[in-house]
């Protein structure tokens, strides 16, 4: 059986690593992308030329099955202290990367009759709080982009999903960034990777286009 490729755009320790383990166990060739990090392909996905070069370098013997877009720049700052440059940087990190990746992935998926694109959102994709004007405005834009792509390319057999990760994903970085975070009230990277695997392999008659994830303790 021909091996296929899954790109994890914005891979990191924790969730990105769990996704790689799950999809490799399922028989895929996984290409983890980040700006830095051991074992990753280092690519600036805000750059359309660099993104195109990345896709051109993929092994043609292992066709693209889809992309999981996790690129994110966490930013928390009062609005009046946030410069236009910061807003643009945050937007480019989370939305422009999705544009560049989608423009390279979609023609390839069209040519082979379909595939899957999953874009990871956050609590800020639906509701914006104080100090999160830059972050939430970019995540709102990402959600709108995915809705448009879904409606435009479902007929091509391309399953476009936007996930709302409404809570913390347990990792070393989470513990450093949120010192009061507890594992019991955070999402497990392994469990979340399994849920993404299931989304990636849904039957066309029951495609999910948006799905919320949150830890049980947060829902009580």
CATH code, domain carrying 20: 3.40.50.720
Q: Which residue has the higher pLDDT, 91 or 178?
A: 91
Is residue 11 situated within a structural domain?
no
Q: 158: helix, coil or strand?
A: strand
Q: Kindly tell me the burial class for residue 79, based on how many C-beta atoms sit within 10 Å of its own C-beta (0-12, 13-18, 19 or more).
A: exposed
Is residue 1 situated within a structural domain?
no
Q: Is 18 left (phi over 0), alpha (psi -120 to 50) or beta?
A: alpha
Is residue 194 situated within a structural domain?
yes
| Domain count for the chain | 1
| Confidence band, pLDDT 50/70/90 cuts, at residue 77 | very high
Cβ of 183: how many Cβ atoms within 10 Å?
12
pLDDT in tens, 127-144: 999 999 999 999 999 999
Rounded to whole angstroms, the Cα distance separating 204 from 201 reads 9
Is residue 67 situated within a structural domain?
yes
Domain span holding position 23 = 16-219
The confidence score (pLDDT) of residue 217 equals 63
Is residue 167 situated within a structural domain?
yes
Is residue 2 situated within a structural domain?
no
Statement: the pTM of the whole predicted model exceeds 0.85: yes
């Amino acid at each position: 059986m021909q091996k296929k490729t899954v790109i994890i755009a914005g891979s990191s320790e924790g969730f990105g690593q769990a996704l790689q383990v799950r999809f490799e166990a399922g028989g895929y060739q996984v290409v983890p992308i980040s700006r830095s990090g051991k074992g990753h392909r280092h690519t600036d996905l805000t750059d359309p030329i660099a993104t195109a070069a990345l896709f051109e370098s993929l092994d043609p013997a292992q066709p693209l099955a889809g992309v999981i877009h996790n690129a994110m720049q966490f930013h928390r700052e009062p609005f009046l202290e946030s410069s236009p440059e910061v807003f643009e940087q945050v937007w480019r990190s989370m939305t422009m990367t999705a544009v560049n990746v989608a423009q390279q992935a979609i023609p390839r998926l069209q040519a082979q009759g379909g595939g899957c694109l999953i874009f990871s959102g956050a609590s800020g994709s639906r509701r914006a709080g104080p100090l999160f004007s830059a972050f939430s405005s970019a995540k709102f834009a990402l959600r709108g982009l995915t809705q448009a792509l879904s409606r435009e390319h479902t007929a091509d057999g391309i399953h476009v999903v936007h996930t709302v990760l409404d809570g913390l994903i347990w990792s070393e970085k989470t513990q450093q960034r949120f010192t009061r975070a507890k594992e019991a009230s955070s999402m497990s990277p392994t469990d979340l990777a399994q849920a993404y695997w299931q989304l990636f392999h849904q039957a066309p008659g029951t495609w999910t286009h948006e799905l919320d994830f949150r830890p049980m303790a947060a829902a009580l």
